Amino acid sequence: MDWFYSFPNMNDETLRNLKKTMDEGFKAFTREYGDIIESFFEPLQYFLIQAERFMTGTPWPIMVLLIAGIAWLASRNWKIVAGTILTLLLIGYFDMWSDAMKTIAMIFVGTVVSIVVGIPIGIIMARSDSFQRIVNPILDVMQTMPSFVYLIPVVMLLGIGKVPGLIAVVIYAIPPMIRLTNLGIRLVDKDVLEAADAFGSSSWQRLKNVQIPLALPTIMAGINQTIMMALAMVVIASMIGVQGLGQPVLRSVNGQFFSLGLFNGLAIVGIAIIFDRVSQAYGKRLQKHQEVVHG
């Protein structure tokens, strides 16, 4: 009855060999292809460095005006603009300006990559049920797998630095982008699609004139979620050398510096609120045709 009380597991020797083979296999793969993969991500690194250089290199008053200007263009709402300026000034006053700019640069690049990769995948998913069946479980894994686990192979391949951090951010942040693009397109009114077909739309015209515009509120919600998830990833990404607000948080965990952690944590919250309110207000403004209703 021994097997009944202790699980009859694989014997230690076999298990050890299995792990060893996998590890060695992956190490060999890393040695063989590491450079190629690294050069593949070079444009991304360039993009990241440029974004960071711009954000940290521009004098702070110009940066505040620029961000406030973007907030105004997107939201057309003075309250949001005032909140944005106040948050940025507070971050600067508490000496977190350059970390905050690095974080914003990272979030910006991460979001752009997620949108550029995520929307096309979402569109294909909406068009093909079999593709959806393949992608959905992958997205489930991406969202539930502890981030540390996929950081290991990424670091082994690319070392410590910005690009692996970015990849970790994108892996974590892209699923809502893909899922909500897919959902938005699938929910487009069948009657309107039929009308587009009846007038002889090609499938590109159907996508451009009907599906994307009508799915836009959902897609915007996806972008908003992606930004929030990317921000949430900032602290974890700091463990593999991503600079920004995550670094001081990590340090404060190690050294038990309560106030350092709190200030930087609040700065992340502040940036999250700015991004959230601005992107939501923009999404709502795109839908202005739905507000005025025949009475």
Partner 1 sequence: MADQTIQGAGIKIKNLYKIFGSRGSAYVEAVKNGMTKTELNEKHHHVLGLRDINIDMPAGGIQVVMGLSGSGKSTLIRHINRLIDPTAGEVIIDGTDVCQMNESDLRQFRRHKTAMVFQKFALLPHRTVLDNTVYGLEIQGISRDKQEEQARRWIERVGLKGFEDNYPNQLSGGMQQRVGLARALTNDAPILLMDEAFSALDPLIRMDMQSVLLDLQKEIKKTIVFITHDLDEALRLGDRIAILRDGEVIQQGTGQDIVLQPADEYISSFVKEVNRGRVIMVDTIATTTGGPADAGHVSVASGTTLEEAAKTMTDANQQYATVVDENGKSLGVLSMNSLIQAMVTPISHLTAAAAE
**278 within 8 A of 80, measured Cβ to Cβ:** yes
Task: Tell the smallest beta-carbon distance from residue 39 to partner 1 (Å).
Answer: 42
**Contact flag: residue 136 with partner 1 (CB under 8 A):** no
Residues of this chain, 197-226, that bind partner 1 according to CB under 8 A:
197-202, 205, 209-210, 213-214, 216
Q: Which is nearer to partner 1, 212 or 266 (CB)?
A: 212
Token reading at 274: 């700015």
Q: Which amino acid is at 154?
A: V
**Contact flag: residue 58 with partner 1 (CB under 8 A):** no
Residues of this chain, 81-120, that bind partner 1 according to CB under 8 A:
none
User: CA distances (Å), 185 to each of 125, 146, 182, 192, 223, in order?
Assistant: 9, 30, 5, 12, 15
d(CA 97, CA 291): 39
Q: Which is nearer to partner 1, 23 or 194 (CB)?
A: 194
Task: Tell the smallest beta-carbon distance from residue 125 to partner 1 (Å).
Answer: 23
- Binding to partner 1 by CB under 8 A, coded x per residue (else -) over 248-287, reads ---------------------------------------x
Side-chain half-sphere CA neighbours of 198 within 13 A: 6
User: CA distances (Å), 26 to each of 19, 169, 213, in order?
Assistant: 11, 22, 44
d(CA 13, CA 233): 38
Residues that bind partner 1 (CB under 8 A): 189, 191-192, 194-202, 205, 209-210, 213-214, 216, 287, 289-290, 292-294
